[in-house]
């Protein structure tokens, strides 16, 4: 059945791959992102490109209302827009940290709040929040990013219980290592920590991120696009889907290892990947 779907963060990576796959499957897809010029391929494929900055709440509501007026409904929202800042807690400014939350949590929340009334009225809908295995685990120099993803996990659980009475499903997708622009953007954030007391750790993490781009060390974005498509098609979707390189393994480690053991495992993984 053809559905009306909004995908945020559709200008690259997981968002773009998801939007293109859903268009191919015959859905009415609106890709939303700040860089509308990066979504021309979505339009060429038969989808729609919408300029949207999720931190601009007025713009969010205006653009979503336009979609509702044109299509009469919104069946699926894929909240994918997000990014990461990286660095030691001591060295990341509050301005950077607040921006991280503005995009990854408050922007996502505003888009969600904008679509819920339509879904509630039609008594159906799916809200798919792209989190990360980073919402369940942690890693050095990633405190602010992990904080947003841990928050998203709990926020999504609460939302699921609130809106299930209206026939709305809330689904969390937890990608592992995925080959996207994410690693490049993330590596750019190490500047503050590469010349101070955390320099050795920053260098190791930076090398680890670079190694995720090597063949075999990460999965293509299509892996997550397939999972999102599966969740959309399911009549009773899971509350969580984990996919991508190392996703299930690290979640298994976190579940069964003590905090101290997991600390050692993560540091060992960083050291080993940084030397490969």
Q: Which residues are catalytic?
A: 11, 131, 145, 149
Q: Which residues contact 235 (CB under 8 A, 6 or more apart)?
A: none
**Look-up: residue for tokens 């993490």?**
205
* Alpha carbon 56 to chain centroid, angstroms: 18
- 102-115 per-residue burial string, b: 16 or more CB within 10 A, e: under 16: ebbbebbbbbbebb
Question: Residue 174 forms beta bridges with which residues?
Answer: 242
Angle at 7 between CA 184 and CA 101, to 5 degrees: 55
Distances, alpha carbon 28 to alpha carbons 9, 37, 48, 180, in Å: 17, 19, 8, 24
């Amino acid at each position: 059945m053809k559905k009306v779907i909004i995908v945020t963060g559709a200008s690259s990576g997981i968002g773009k791959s998801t939007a293109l796959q859903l268009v191919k499957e015959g859905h009415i897809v609106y890709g939303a992102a700040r860089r509308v010029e990066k979504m021309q391929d979505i339009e060429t494929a038969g989808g729609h490109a919408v300029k949207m900055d999720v931190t601009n709440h007025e713009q969010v509501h205006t653009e979503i209302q336009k979609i509702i007026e044109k299509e009469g409904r919104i069946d699926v929202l894929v909240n994918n827009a997000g990014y990461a800042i990286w660095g030691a807690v001591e060295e990341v400014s509050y301005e950077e940290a607040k921006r991280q939350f503005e995009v990854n949590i408050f922007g996502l929340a505003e888009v969600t709040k904008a679509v819920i009334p339509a879904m509630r009225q039609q008594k159906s809908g799916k809200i798919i929040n792209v989190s990360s295995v980073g919402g369940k685990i942690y890693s050095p120099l990633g405190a602010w990013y992990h904080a947003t993803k841990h928050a998203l996990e709990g926020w999504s659980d609460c939302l699921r219980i609130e809106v299930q009475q209206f026939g709305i499903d809330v689904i969390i997708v937890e990608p592992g290592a995925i080959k996207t622009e994410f690693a490049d953007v993330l590596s750019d954030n190490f500047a503050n920590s590469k010349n101070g007391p955390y320099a050795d750790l920053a260098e190791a993490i930076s090398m680890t991120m670079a190694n995720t781009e090597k063949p075999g060390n990460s999965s293509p974005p299509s892996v997550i696009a397939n999972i999102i498509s599966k969740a959309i098609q399911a009549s009773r979707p899971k509350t969580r889907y984990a996919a991508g390189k190392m996703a299930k393994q690290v979640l298994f480690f976190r579940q069964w290892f003590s905090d101290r053991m997991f600390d050692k495992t993560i540091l060992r993984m960083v050291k080993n990947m940084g030397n490969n």
